[in-house]
Structure 1
């Protein structure tokens, strides 16, 4: 499994959500199933709304897990993905309990101090689990 930490230069939560939408669009266009894991239900609902209008010239087929777990882009929390070997975009502060079901994981990091500390810990946890996480500057 490929694990990447995409690092944003800002501390704005909205930039983190916009990056998640852009990455979901790119992966979906490449034919990969996508599971965006939010920190809580409110964030999932914000992402659901953002995916409708973050890019005027394109549409990302998506739904909340409880409504359609088979959607090309699924927004959820700790539910197992309906399709394995896809992309997990993790916005949750903890690692997913279903890591083995994904072929790729992207953690999106911004410069907010508390989130940076959590992401550093996640980086260490991935290493402890035998993964080789990579850092990608955005």
Structure 2
């Protein structure tokens, strides 16, 4: 079963919170696929990953890059994992039928959006019924995470 962690964004947007989590994933030597809801979102996150720290960047590519099988962090709108990543990150209320192919899944949702929150609750229930290990993290005012379940 896949370990699935829900990240409830309350005080900082995805563009601030996601790079910090990906920095930890990358620092642990893991590869990640980030499934986004649109090409516009993919382009936005691409820019953020290049610039979120003034003195460094997160190595990554997207579904339009020349060597997808060599990407440590891979942005896509599709159900694909060309580099054999062990971590799946779902944003924009995206879902995946390939959850079981990953060791970890990070579900990030905007708690200020009622529709996104309701969708996340539905996915929590589905994952729980499927037997996945679930954790729930709520964003603190400082941008960190507090484990709630």
TM-score (norm 2): 0.82
CA contact (8 A) 1:84 1:101 kept: no
1:122 aligns to what SS in structure 2? helix
1:114 aligns to what SS in structure 2? helix
Separation in 2, partners of 1:39, 1:94: 6
Residue in 2 that maps onto 1:44: 42
Structure 1: 5+ residue stretches without partners:
none
1:36 aligns to what SS in structure 2? strand
C-alpha deviation, 1:85, in angstroms? 5.2
Residue in 1 that maps onto 2:82: 82
1:106 aligns to what SS in structure 2? strand
C-alpha deviation, 1:32, in angstroms? 0.1
Number of equivalent positions: 135
Q: Work out which of the two has the higher radius of gyration on C-alpha atoms and give 1 or 2.
A: 2
Residue in 2 that maps onto 1:109: 109
RMSD: 1.6
Question: Is 1:56 paired with 2:57?
Answer: no
Separation in 1, partners of 2:90, 2:21: 11
Show structure 1 runs of 4+ deviating over 4 A.
Answer: none
TM-score (norm 1): 0.88
Question: Per-residue CA shift, 1:101-134, capped at 9, x if unaligned?
Answer: 2110001122221111111111111112221321
1:32 aligns to what SS in structure 2? coil
1:133 aligns to what SS in structure 2? strand
